[in-house]
Amino acid sequence: MVERTQAVEDKRRQLLDAAVRVFARKGFHASRVGDIAEEAGVAHGLLYHYFKSKDQVLEAVFHENWSVLLARIASVEETDEPAPDQLRHIATIVLRTWLHLPDVVRVVIREFGRSPELAERIGDLAQPIDAIQRVIERGIGRGEFRKDVDPVFAAAVVYGSIDELLTGWVLGRLPAGEDDVAAAERTLCEVSLLGLQEP
């Protein structure tokens, strides 16, 4: 039974990985279920044993990758590090997904980031902003950040910067090598913290 469950999970993972590659290459709307099956090297009908539709495949791709990201962000929040360090770590986690999972980033930015209907249906897109807001609120409470900063707007500004960097890499507007990502992390944190901390 355990082996069978593992086999089912492995096949599902194989299909999701194939879907990420296809969606990143062709875009969700131009992709067909047959493209995913072909990429995965399985029979066309097999995909329907695991997913009801192409939409459900896209949502599974999002949820599985997003839940890992949210868990990593939550682990930063659980530390007792100063708020500026927590913000740096959150920015690093999100930005470095570009280096580790570029196709997933392409799919999330293109399909979810630019589709209000999809984003509303998913409902999880705001969670990193909420985490950043909580970090900023704690930083204000501990005297690590200025008291005259509005944490709601500050969190939106910080996350908006992260999103714009990822979008720039996806669209090819910004240099996107490992050194570039490191430079983006440093710049983002320096600029954000400059505005948040007391002069």
DSSP letter, residue 46: G
Per-residue pLDDT tens over the stretch 137-188: 999 999 999 999 999 999 999 999 999 999 999 999 999 999 999 999 999 9
> Number of folded domains in the chain?
2
Angstrom distances, CA of residue 15 to CA of 98, 129, 176: 21, 30, 28
Pair (118, 163) in one structural domain = yes
Pair (77, 18) in one structural domain = no
- Residue 47 burial by Cβ neighbours in a 10 Å radius (0-12, 13-18, 19+): buried
Return all residues near 90 (Cβ < 8 A) that are at least 6 apart: 73, 76, 128, 131, 132, 135
* DSSP assignment string, 57-89: HHHHHHHHHHHHHHHHHHHHHTS---HHHHHHH
Pair (95, 113) in one structural domain = yes
High-pLDDT (> 70) share of the chain, %: 91
Pair (83, 174) in one structural domain = yes
Pair (75, 9) in one structural domain = no
Q: Are 140 and 147 in contact (CB under 8 A)?
A: yes
CATH number of the domain encompassing residue 82:
1.10.357.10
CATH number of the domain encompassing residue 38:
1.10.10.60
**Between 193 and 199, the higher pLDDT residue:** 193
Q: What is the pLDDT, as a whole number, of residue 64?
A: 87
Residue type, 114: R
Q: What is the pLDDT, as a whole number, of residue 72?
A: 96
Using pLDDT thresholds of 50, 70 and 90, give the confidence band for residue 77. Answer: very high
Pair (72, 41) in one structural domain = no
Per-residue pLDDT tens over the stretch 4-38: 677 778 889 999 999 999 999 999 989 999 999 99
- Other Cβ atoms less than 10 A from the Cβ of 162: the count is 21
Residue 124's domain comprises: 58-196
Angstrom distances, CA of residue 185 to CA of 13, 34, 64, 127, 150: 31, 39, 25, 20, 23
**Between 142 and 198, the higher pLDDT residue:** 142
**Average pLDDT in the 39-67 region?**
89
Q: What is the pLDDT, as a whole number, of residue 127?
A: 86
Pair (30, 89) in one structural domain = no
Supply the pTM of this predicted model: 0.88
Residue type, 86: Q
Pair (16, 66) in one structural domain = no
Pair (80, 160) in one structural domain = yes
